[in-house]
Amino acid sequence: MLDVVGDVTPAFVVNHRKDVVASNRLARDLIIDFDALPYRERNIARFVLLDPAVRDRYENWDEAAETVVAALRLSAGRHRDDRQLNELVGEFLLKVPEFRIWWDAHRVVQCAYGVQRFRHPIVGSLALRYETLTVQADPDQGLVLYTTEDGSSSAEALVLLASWSAPSAPTPTSARTDRQR
């Protein structure tokens, strides 16, 4: 499913710890190439809160980071004995000065929908609506889809990003060379 929507919609699957368990090409081009990261680093909360470049990538970083913390708090309440989640929270408490303030506010949020504003180095500013669909077979996983308003500058930027990052089709010469081998 991720590949089917991959040419028009950035999408990824997260678990309750916000580990990115799968992503499509457009999500990797928009946010970060999760597949290229070490397994431990494939976590959207870790990316948003610990990567210094993210403050430039997200136009509304404070809002995005605070929402991630509220989503982690919700997960921590549901999964009190999850050692990896508890370690992640502990790491954020030590490394992210704002984290304690947000965590101590006891705000919880599902992260079901909203608007995310990106500043992409190639295509510029994008305002994307996100919707998180729960996977019925595993309610601790969610499919996050980003969409745009038709005809908007964000829609044009997303089309440009998709075309810029699309895999190249083989040229007739290279196709012939492949067949001859």
Task: Report which residue type is found at 51.
Answer: D
pLDDT at residue 166, rounded to an integer: 66
Task: Label residue 179 by pLDDT band (50, 70, 90).
Answer: very low
pLDDT for residue 180: 46
**Residue 62 pLDDT > 90, yes or no?**
yes
pLDDT for residue 175 is more than 60: no
Helix axis angle, 97-104 to 61-78, nearest 10°: 60
Rg value, the chain, Cα = 18
153: which DSSP letter?
A: H
The predicted model scores a pTM of 0.86
Q: Token pair for residue 35? A: 């597949």
Distance CA 176, CA 181 (A): 9
49-53, 117-121, 177-181 — which is least confidently predicted?
Answer: 177-181
pLDDT of residue 168: 57
Whether residue 181 has pLDDT greater than 70: no
The phi and psi torsions of 166 (rounded to 5 degrees) equal -65, 140
Write out the residue range of the structural domain in which residue 160 sits.
Answer: 2-180
User: What pLDDT does residue 136 have?
Assistant: 85
Task: Identify the CA nearest to 63 among candidates 52, 54, 76, 53.
Answer: 54
Q: Determine contact, residues 2/11, Cβ cutoff 8 Å.
A: yes
Closest to 162 in 3D by CA, of 179, 148, 141: 148
User: Which CATH number characterizes residue 127's domain?
Assistant: 3.30.450.180
Please write the tens of the pLDDT for every residue from 123-170: 999 999 999 999 788 989 999 999 999 999 999 999 999 998 666 545
Domain count, the chain: 1
Q: What is the DSSP string of 104-116?
A: HTT------EEEE
